[in-house]
Amino acid sequence: QDTTPELFILHPDSVAPQAIGAPGTHLLSVSSKGELAVLTGATSIAHGLFTGTLATLSPGASPRPLLEGVREADWSPDGASLAIIRDLGGGRDRLEFPVGTTLHEINGYLSNPRVSRDGRRVAFAEHLFPWDDRGRVKVVDMARRVTDLTGDLWGIEGMAWSADDTQIAFSGSEATKPGGVGYEPRLVPAS
């Protein structure tokens, strides 16, 4: 099975979607200015997780490479900076916001970085074992204070801030259910 991502755009007046970037381009986030944060040369490492070169891309232009060894990213509300998850190798991950400023680092892996609408905090999932969905939802502020928002969950997927920055929405599971893991939409207070 081919796991090479491809990115397409469909204009309202088009009959068929048009490719954006070369095969191996994986969308991470869209800024408030319409700029895309993508991975180029993205390779699959586990269920829905990719690694590659972080680049910015405007429709109709070529990707502008920024950093190697990035897995995920999210734009700040003003579209001026990015929160990223950088793979440091050796089973160690770093959350940076803005790029170059370390907010949190662990042995294990981090996922789903989402910058709050006020730009002062980043929500994320922390996983102790590489490529295992089990983990906790956390938030970190610009002073590097990390707050656990959940206990241990069997699985975590996706994440978003509420419109007023008071809650975090995600899909998660507390325990296995007959037939597999049952992910359900959840909301937790963001503090």
**Which value, to the nearest 10 degrees, does the dihedral of the CA atoms of residues 67, 35, 48, 54 take?**
-10
Closest CA to 132 of 39, 21, 45: 45
Give this prediction's pTM.
0.90
Per-residue exposure over 33-43, b if at least 16 CB sit within 10 Å of its own CB, e if not? eebbbbbbbbe
Please give the average per-residue pLDDT across 70-79, as a whole number. Answer: 97
What is the phi/psi pair of residue 160, to 5°?
-155, 145
Q: Name the DSSP letter for residue 117.
A: T
Q: Are 41 and 52 in contact (CB under 8 A)?
A: yes
Closest CA to 138 of 128, 129, 151: 151
Q: Give 173 or 121, the one with higher predicted confidence.
A: 121
Please give the average per-residue pLDDT across 135-155, as a whole number. Answer: 95
Residues 116 and 75: their CA atoms lie apart, in Å, by 10
pLDDT for the residue 120: 97
Q: How many CB atoms lie within 10 A of CB 82?
A: 25
Residue 5 reports pLDDT greater than 60: yes
Closest CA to 82 of 124, 105, 115, 41: 115
**Sheet of 82-89, strand order:** 26-30, 36-46, 49-57, 64-75, 82-89, 92-96, 102-107
Q: Residue 131 is inside which H or E element, if any?
A: none
The pLDDT mean for the chain works out to 91
- pLDDT tens digits, 86-144: 999 888 999 999 999 999 999 999 999 999 999 999 999 999 888 888 899 999 999 99
Please give the average per-residue pLDDT across 9-34, as a whole number. Answer: 91
Residues 4 and 153: their CA atoms lie apart, in Å, by 29
Lowest mean pLDDT among 52-56, 153-157, 186-190: 153-157
Lowest mean pLDDT among 23-27, 96-100, 165-169: 23-27
Residue 148 reports pLDDT greater than 90: yes
pLDDT for the residue 175: 65
- pLDDT tens digits, 37-66: 999 999 888 877 899 999 999 877 889 999
Residue 176 reports pLDDT greater than 60: no
